[in-house]
């Protein structure tokens, strides 16, 4: 899978110099959101099935996602 960086939230800096959390497009016609991993306790509250995960992102990243998807 190939990833194209579409934007990120300016609240933190990743080790590669990009902002975190971030939003990516893939060559599979899908998107990937990078964010903070939920604790096992919080993840259990969502009843996420095996093979799936959940991350937390700031509300400000939603605008980055909107711009990237509509543009």
Greater confidence (6 vs 28) lies with 28
Cα dihedral 2→39→43→20 (10° resolution)? -30
The confidence score (pLDDT) of residue 19 equals: 63
Please report which confidence band the pLDDT of residue 28 belongs to, taking 50, 70 and 90 as the band edges. Answer: very high
Output Rg (C-alpha) for the chain, integer angstroms. Answer: 13
Residue 58 has pLDDT above 80, yes or no: yes
**pTM higher than 0.85:** no
């Amino acid at each position: 899978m190939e990833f194209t960086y579409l934007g990120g939230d300016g609240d933190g800096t990743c080790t590669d110099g990009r902002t975190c959390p971030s939003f990516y497009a893939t060559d599979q016609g899908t998107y990937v959101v990078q964010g903070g991993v939920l604790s096992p306790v919080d993840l259990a509250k969502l009843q996420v099935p095996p093979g799936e995960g959940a991350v937390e992102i700031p509300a400000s990243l939603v605008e980055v996602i909107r711009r990237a998807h509509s543009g």
